[in-house]
Amino acid sequence: MRHHRNRFALERLEPRDVPAAQFAAVGSDAGDIGRAQLVDTETGTPRYSVFPFGTDFTGGVSVAAGDVNGDGVTDLIAAPGAGGGPVVKVFDGVTGVELYNQLVFDASFRGGVYVAAGDTNLDGKAEIIAGAGEGGGPAVTVIDGGTGAVASSFFAYGDGFRGGVRVAAGDVDGDGRADVIAGAGPGGAPHVRAVSVAAGGRELASFLAYDAAFAGGVFVAAGDLDADGRTDIVTGTGAGGGPLVNSFRGDGTAFDSFVIGDGSSRAGVRVGVVHRGYTADIATVVPGAGVGRFTPTGEPTDASGLTGNGWVSGPAEATPDAALLWNQVALRAVAADATPAPAAARALAMLHIAVFESANVIVRRYESYSFTPGSPDDADPEAAALLAGEQVLSGLFPEQATEFVRIRNARLALIPDGTAKDGGLQTGAQEAEFLLFIRGFDGSAEAGSVPFTPGTNPGDWRPTPPDNAPFLLPGWGNVSTFAIGSAAVFRPNGPPEVSSLEYAAELNAVQQLGRIDSSTRTADQTQQALFWAGGAGASAVTQDVVRRENLDLLDSARAFALVAMAAADAAIVAWDSKLTFARWRPITAVREAGGDDNPGTTADPTWTPLLATPNHPDYISDTAAVTAAGAAVLTALFGEGYAFRAYSPALPGVTRSFAGFADAAAEAAQSGVSGGVQFPSSAADGLAAGEAVGGVVVGTKLRPLA
């Protein structure tokens, strides 16, 4: 239910005067005119100011920041304090136009509303999270950023509690989706909870932020404070508490604490997270004492870019640069298009080469991918990358072009008009045009029409149940590679002969481990199989690393381009082997083992694997090859022993931890065996081929200039 009766006053809107930056929402305290602003966290320059509930409202305005409409720009979310109706409004980050006017609780409630924002469902649009203020039950409502519908609602604490609930959002469990973080209002213990909306309300953390006797309530914020790729929780005391700021891991483990000033204030402290690049700082508001900005360890830093006396709140994740943004958009585009995996890898490689070239031809720190005509003097690399990304994606997915243009235009509006911007646009256009042209003759359009006749002999691939679909893109191995020359150079020697002892051992292993009702497969092996089959991959890992390393645009673009090229070429290598050897899948091998002339195998006509069998031959594993190629690149760029966590789009609430990129690739390779869709030799040889491909890509392409 949306309401549009209350008008708001727009004080100031200069959408082209502010350069691309990190923004935060700033709200007013009770007693002041109810203003909300979106400000540049470095300069303090307002992108705009609004009076969401009219100039007569003085109950305070709580605020949040997040990309609600999915255009890559932080939007402003505002809600009234005590005395106002339970309405949340969202204002476009570019124009200041009202996007949402949403009733979130019973219309008669007047206790105020606390707000947060975060993408809880991986659709690229932040959900609006509302918590009831004092006097109401601890109700939390989550509004879908894409549809405006209620996605979830629950009580954060017992329904008899009347202190209200303060809210924040961040990816506490590392599954790629924002979770709801709740802080109890006054009247109870300073209880903080983290809840996964995506996992059906599963509790992720529950702890006391301060002494159990303190009953002034607790404010909460979220962000990755220590650049480990995991969201941390920040707390501040409510009224009556000293200005003590505590920081906790996502599981509730305390890891830092500091006091503001001399600690004598008893007005409490409101907290938020703001960004400088991808680095998070803690913003504070001590009523009566103003705004502060601190490093995660409590060192004061320049707070002149923050204004206001009520609330300061940035998004839990920093606004992405053009390379990271287009990667996120491209992953959604291939999912919406149901693009086959090798074609999706090609699309990502084309996208990221164009984005890299557009920035690099201006900044000139690395070797070019190919001949480039150069760029105008002083061209803006961000503008170039934004246009190049949109043009490539629009060329590849024309039915989604309107969305790509919308995102491009929103981000370009943050760049001041002038010759630098114009030069960047010219550069981006020419790089995209060149890339689309040279890849227009790479053989990908013909890959699906290459003739293939399934064999009937033992070991020959044929369509598999339940769909019995034909060989997917049988000619993809003939597609021109991006960086490695001939795919055939990386072709392994082939799988074991069907009559061999080695083959029998492999079949027996996958027959026992990979069956749907296996008694030998562990719960962790089952999770591995589902995890990697569900879309976990190198792009999401690269996103995490780019943020953690606080890379600038060009280095970010280079990392994505190298990983994408390696993945695309590894897929071509895998398909070259698939067509060359055309080896059957385990489901066929087990069910037809009675005719394989191998005394070491036993047929099971009803055998069914854990995972659905892909409609292309087994050897070599493309999952193994692609993940190994990406891992080789990331290891070369960021080193061995780079610990990280990964998530899978298909498994909300699940993350897997790795001690290095190669460890993740090894697990991905094994996952197909555990899932019953690959032979061990397919996984092992795919892993080796992918590692070799990645090594060539990172060793020969986009190298630093001497």
What would the pLDDT profile of 261-295 be if each residue is shown by its tens digit?
A: 989 999 999 999 999 888 899 999 998 888 999 99
- At 545-558, the pLDDT tens digits run 999 999 999 999 99
Element (H, E) at 437: helix 419-438
Banded pLDDT at 178 (limits 50, 70, 90) = very high
Average pLDDT value for residue range 57-70: 96
Q: How many whole angstroms separate alpha carbon 564 and alpha carbon 558?
A: 10
Tokens of 527: 């999770």
Q: How many whole angstroms separate alpha carbon 233 and alpha carbon 296?
A: 11
Residue 70 · residue 334 · CB < 8 Å: no
Alpha-carbon distances of 187 from 165, 218, 394, rounded to whole Å: 11, 10, 54
Backbone angles phi, psi at 548, to 5 degrees: -60, -35
Backbone angles phi, psi at 598, to 5 degrees: -120, 110
Banded pLDDT at 377 (limits 50, 70, 90) = confident
686, pLDDT greater than 80: yes
Q: Which residue has the tokens 């803006």?
A: 380
The SS3 call for residue 214 is: coil
20, pLDDT greater than 60: no
Q: What percent of the chain has pLDDT over 70?
A: 97
pLDDT at residue 6, rounded to an integer: 34
Banded pLDDT at 410 (limits 50, 70, 90) = very high
pLDDT at residue 8, rounded to an integer: 35
Helices (H), 478-537: 501-514, 523-533
Measuring CA to CA, which residue among 342, 331, 333 is closest to residue 396?
333
- At 68-83, the pLDDT tens digits run 999 999 999 999 999 9
Q: What angle do CA 469, 470, 475 make, to 5 degrees?
A: 145
Q: What angle do CA 129, 135, 141 make, to 5 degrees?
A: 20
Measuring CA to CA, which residue among 349, 361, 351 is closest to residue 426?
361
14, pLDDT greater than 60: no
Would residue 535 be called left, alpha or beta, if left means φ above 0 and alpha means ψ between -120 and 50 degrees? left
- At 623-656, the pLDDT tens digits run 999 999 999 999 999 999 999 999 999 999 999 9
Q: How many whole angstroms separate alpha carbon 545 and alpha carbon 557?
A: 12
Average predicted confidence (pLDDT) for the chain = 94
Best-predicted range by mean pLDDT (15-19, 377-381, 537-541, 677-681): 677-681
Q: What is the length of the chain?
A: 706
pLDDT at residue 4, rounded to an integer: 30
Hey, how many other C-beta atoms are within 10 angstroms of the C-beta on 370? Answer: 10
Q: How many whole angstroms separate alpha carbon 52 and alpha carbon 76?
A: 10
pLDDT at residue 5, rounded to an integer: 31
Q: Following CA atoms 62, 63, 64, 69 in sequence, which dihedral angle do they give, to the nearest 10 degrees? A: 130
Element (H, E) at 66: strand 61-66
Banded pLDDT at 230 (limits 50, 70, 90) = confident
Amino acid type, 311: W
Average pLDDT value for residue range 326-353: 98
pLDDT at residue 21, rounded to an integer: 67
Q: How many whole angstroms separate alpha carbon 431 and alpha carbon 507?
A: 49
Residue 547 · residue 224 · CB < 8 Å: yes
- At 475-517, the pLDDT tens digits run 999 999 999 999 999 999 999 999 999 999 999 999 999 999 9
- At 1-12, the pLDDT tens digits run 233 333 334 333
240, pLDDT greater than 80: yes
Residue 542 · residue 327 · CB < 8 Å: yes
Q: Can you name the residues that pair with 614 across neighbouring β-strands?
A: none
pLDDT at residue 3, rounded to an integer: 31
The strand pair at 36-40 and 98-103 is best described as unpaired
**C-alpha dihedral sign at 62, 68, 72, 75:** negative
pLDDT at residue 644, rounded to an integer: 93
Catalogue all structural domains in the chain, each as residue range(s) with its CATH number.
23-313 (2.130.10.130), 322-444 (1.20.144.10), 498-699 (1.10.606.20)
Hey, how many other C-beta atoms are within 10 angstroms of the C-beta on 257? Answer: 13
Q: How many whole angstroms separate alpha carbon 87 and alpha carbon 567?
A: 47
